[in-house]
Amino acid sequence: MDALADGLIQVLIDWGYAGLFLSALLAGSIVPFSSELVMVALVNVGLSPALCVLAATLGNTVGGMTCYYMGHLGRIDWIEKYFKVKREKIERTRRFLQGKGALMAFFTFLPFVGEAIAIALGFMRSNVLLTTVSMLVGKLLRYLAMLAALQGVISTVAS
């Protein structure tokens, strides 16, 4: 399985910005994937860091909104069966989000709970525009922080 994942990551790297967008879309959805590896590789081979952040942010936001729309469908049985997200996790997240609104989409960048937040916001029928903008801002700040950390590591290694 690792060879398959490594091969997929290499293909996505070969596709450049489009591959980064796709890897971020997968990572932002319910599919376990690491867009960070693709972004680091692309920045290291000389692609524009700003365009890499843009591609990753947009892809990850689209992926997150797929989770939102899965929740909007309201079919917990499908989510449990096909995406392996437990009903308890969705319900616990929904109770936590009650009264907090679409601005909580900012936190969909968090590992392990980000998908559940997006799904719960979809169940709650939160404002789509506010949810999308909040999600985009959170994911943008995450990728900017990742890029800053990457550039710090590169400058440390270079000196």
Give me the long-range contacts of 91-95 (CB less than 8 A, separation at least 24). Answer: 92/116, 93/117, 93/119, 93/120, 94/120, 94/123, 94/124
Distance CA 107, CA 93 (A): 12
At residue 1, the pLDDT reads: 47
- What's the pLDDT tens digit per position in 30-43? 787 888 888 988 99
pTM for the predicted model, two decimal places: 0.84
- Please answer whether residues 20 and 55 qualify as being in contact, where contact means their C-beta atoms are separated by less than 8 angstroms: yes
At residue 157, the pLDDT reads: 62
Q: Tell me what the mean pLDDT of segment 93-110 comes to.
A: 84
Q: What are phi and psi of 34, to 5 degrees?
A: -115, 100
- What's the pLDDT tens digit per position in 55-96? 999 999 999 999 999 888 877 787 777 667 778 877 787 788
How does the average pLDDT of the chain come out, rounded?
A: 85
pLDDT higher at 103 or 101: 103
